[in-house]
Amino acid sequence: MARILVVDDEAAIRELVQGALKSFGYQCETAPNAAAARALLKAQDFDLVISDVIMPGENGLDLIAHVVETYPDTGTLILSALDDPALTQKALDLGIYGYVVKPFDMTSLRIHVACALKQREVQMANRRYREDLERLAEQRTRELHRQQQDYAALVTNLPCVVYTGFTDWSVAFVSEKVRDVTGYEPEVFLSGQKRWSECIVPEDLPTLSEPLKKAMARDGTFIREYRIVDAHGQIRWIQDRGRVILSPESNLDHVSGVFFDITEQKKVREALEQAKEEWERTFDAVPALIQVSDKNRRILKVNAALANRVGIPREDIIGRSCYDIIYGRLEKCPQCPWDNAESLNFPLEREVYNEHLGGYFHITSAPLYNSDGSLAGCISVSHDITALKEAEQEVRRAHWELEQLVSAISSILIGLDPQGRITRWNTMAESVFGLLSTEVLGKKLEDLPLEWQWERVQLAVESCRRKKRIHRVEDVRFTRPDGQPGFLGFTINPMRLDHDTELGLLIMGAEITQRKLLEAQLAQAQKLESIGQLAAGIAHEINTPVQFIGDNTRFLEDAFRDLSRLLEKYQELVQRARQAEDLANLVREVEEAAETIDLDYLLTEIPRAIEQTLEGVQRVAKIVLAMKEFSHPDREEKVPTDINRALENTLTVARNEWKYVADLVAELDPNLPLVPCIPGEMNQVFLNIVVNAAHAVKDAVKDQPDTKGTITVATRVVDDWCEIRVADTGTGIPEKIRHRIFDPFFTTKEVGRGTGQGLAISHHVVVEKHKGQLLFETEEGRGTTFIIRLPMESS
């Protein structure tokens, strides 16, 4: 049964809600204020807290924030008479499960409470799932690290060279022992400075493809022997044992295997060519071999498996030495254990590689005694463990494939040991940072030659170690290998290895530069869209009063023209009235009145005032029209566009940016044809460049308040291009930053004046979307000309 705490300063509300909740089947406690609620929360566990917002003392939102932070398993619900969107948003930001507005009905309350409790259960389940997933990831990471160590130790201790190579003789992996065999460092082959075929004696090279063909037709394994020339010019014999790996199309993809330096063995085998032929005939024999020998190493008895393995009739084996039959030697084996049989501990077990039999063997030997207790001989059982060795090679191959899988992960993956040294650096990390894993393994992050915000990463690393929990770092600035700026996002995970008491770290990340650029472009587009909507609204609002002002002014103009004709008649009447004696006084009064109001001045100035008013109305109408056209809803496809008209609208809208600092010169080609483009996006480009020009001129004349610069906008047709030039007499672009002006987020302007997106977005629109060109010519102290070229034909 869920336990619910109701917090409200009104007793009637508390009782009403408590009664309703109990009728719904819940346990319910109440508190008149936040202080009482805190006390109950400290003493009891609650599944849900329902709180009013406005209460004496601490308000409900602060209480909810306390519950969310202190009791994460407790759900929260707001019950308030305030239906304020801002308050609602603030409550939602705190993480509440619901918002019930007073007055409410019981059905609504029941639904909100049930939904809040259900949401609490889901969130608790999600949190448990995330915790289980993090534990599993940590466990898998420890296992991966342990397997990596085992793999490295195995490769290091093998008495042979482990390799992976391709059909063009390039090498993807080769163990350190290649140095002992060839005299070359592994990096010489791994970096491609030297291909393995360059070491092989030329006359042996043509014979090496046939074993691979046979392996592809059989079980995939091969053995081949050939000569190489080492770094000192010496000839060495190599025995190459491996397996071919096929592509999904059943073509040879690569080869994995081991090779041994058999130079000394080869010298012996050349002297014993007949014995070598016998070894080759018995190479695929059954692996269980049993022999009985006397103390002089003469074979007394063998089983069928050994006879089949050596390829000699059993009767021909009897009486011959074990080293002759088993090891193909003319004399006893060096360091033969039976030289000191009396001092050995039996049974004697050892693991050897038998070149004659072509495999690894685990040999168990036990003595045979005479009746008097003296040593008569021995019995030996040899188990072929070649398959086990091949399985070990398969394990190594699996480890290699695992390494390839880790390298193929599309996220940056960096492992750090407890001392902060790099233990893992995958392919994506190599690509993003431009540093190979061989260059960074064993080093510390802070010692790498990287241009990035290391302080932020370092703080996150220290916080992760200290708090032993995952830490996220966003928007880390860095310089990419191509010199361009970029952004990274990291998740830092604590990782404890079985043999370490201190924490290691697993850093996973991704380059988010493109995402940041898209976000900035979206913000810029939304900003321009808002400005366009505002401009359209203002234009609409201005248009109505301008309309009736213009109409009224034209009415006054027509009316004054009629009045002027009437006044002319009045003047004529006054002239004639002067001759009438009885009207002389009245004429004088009229003349005095005309003199008092300065009728001549009014007749001159009123038409001029009306003319200026009409001119002002026309200018306002022109601005309104430009704003409406500039803010017209954008199109997604190219349409034939009047570039001159678009520039005029842009210059009109941006007039406030340039009119105080520069004189504008427009040299627009009147015969310029329509150009296919996306009008709204090109308006944005024109606006960005004109505003940049105005800022450059302002910087140039800031110390000369009475001086203005010049901005010249020109259009013309050049070959198959429409060329738009925007020239300013500003400060010019310094040579050291010219290569970066189209980079995203790069700006030389002070904070609040530029985002570094204007020219980047303009370059994207002109070059990427319109397949045009965006160039510039500049001279420090003289000014800059930006050149936009748009193709006349739509592509």
| Confidence tier at 754 by pLDDT (50, 70, 90) | very low
Q: For residue range 171-220, what is the model confidence (pLDDT) as tens digits?
A: 999 888 899 899 999 999 999 899 999 999 999 999 998 999 999 888 89
pLDDT at 83 over 80: no
pLDDT tens for 402-412 read: 666 666 666 88
CA-to-CA separations, 520 to 509, 630, 695, 753, in angstroms, rounded? 21, 22, 21, 15
518 vs 787 pLDDT, higher one: 787
Please determine, for residue 539, whether its predicted confidence score (pLDDT) is greater than 70: no
pLDDT value of position 568: 67
pLDDT band, residue 381 (cuts 50/70/90):
confident
pLDDT tens across 504-523, in order?
A: 888 888 887 777 766 666 55
Which of 303-317, 371-385, 570-584 is predicted with the least confidence, judged by mean pLDDT? 570-584
Between 396 and 213, the more confident residue is: 213
Q: Which two tokens stand for residue 266?
A: 């080869």
pLDDT above 90 (res 228): yes
Q: Which helix (H) or strand (E) holds 277?
A: helix 273-281
What's the average model confidence in pLDDT over 705-711? 88
* Residue 530 predicted with pLDDT over 70: no
Is the pLDDT confidence value at 629 over 90? no
Q: Does residue 254 contact residue 166 with C-beta atoms inside 8 Å? A: yes
Among the listed ranges 275-279, 321-325, 397-401, 467-471, which one has the minimum average pLDDT value?
Answer: 275-279
User: Which residues does 227 contact at the CB level (< 8 Å), separation at least 6?
Assistant: 200, 201, 204, 235, 236, 237, 238
pLDDT digits (tens, 9 = 90+) for 544-574: 555 556 665 666 666 666 666 666 667 667 6
Burial level of 337, CB count in 10 A (0-12/13-18/19+)? middle
In DSSP terms, which residues pair with 228 in a beta bridge? 200, 236
Q: In 10 A of CB 247, how many CB atoms?
A: 9
pLDDT at 753: 45
Give the model confidence (pLDDT) of 714-724 as tens digits: 999 998 999 99
As a whole number, the mean pLDDT across the chain is 81
The DSSP bridge pattern shows strands 675-677 and 639-641 to be antiparallel
- Contact between 631 and 532 (Cβ < 8 Å): yes
Instruction: With cut-offs at 50, 70 and 90, classify the pLDDT of residue 288.
Output: low
For residue 530, the surrounding DSSP H or E stretch is helix 513-577
- Cβ-contact 293, 306 below 8 angstroms: no
Q: What is the pLDDT of residue 280?
A: 38
The amino acid occupying position 372 is D
User: Could you tell me the strand order of the sheet in which 3-7 lies?
Assistant: 27-31, 3-7, 48-51, 75-80, 99-101
- pLDDT 10s digits, 662-673: 999 999 999 999
- Among left, alpha and beta (phi > 0; psi -120 to 50; other), residue 434 is left
Q: Whole-model pTM?
A: 0.34
pLDDT in tens, 407-466: 666 688 888 888 889 888 888 888 888 889 889 899 998 888 888 888 888 888 888 888
Q: What is the pLDDT of residue 702?
A: 85
Distance CA 466, CA 468 (A): 6
pLDDT at 323 over 80: yes
Written as one letter, the residue type at 626 is A
pLDDT of residue 327: 84
Q: How far is CA 344 from the centre of its chain?
A: 65
* The pLDDT of residue 617: 63
Q: Is 677's pLDDT higher than 70?
A: yes
| pLDDT score for 40 | 93
Per-residue pLDDT at 542: 61
> How confident is the model at residue 285, as a pLDDT?
45
pLDDT tops 60 at residue 533: no
- Over residues 10-20, the pLDDT tens digits come to 898 889 999 98
Average pLDDT (747-761) is: 58
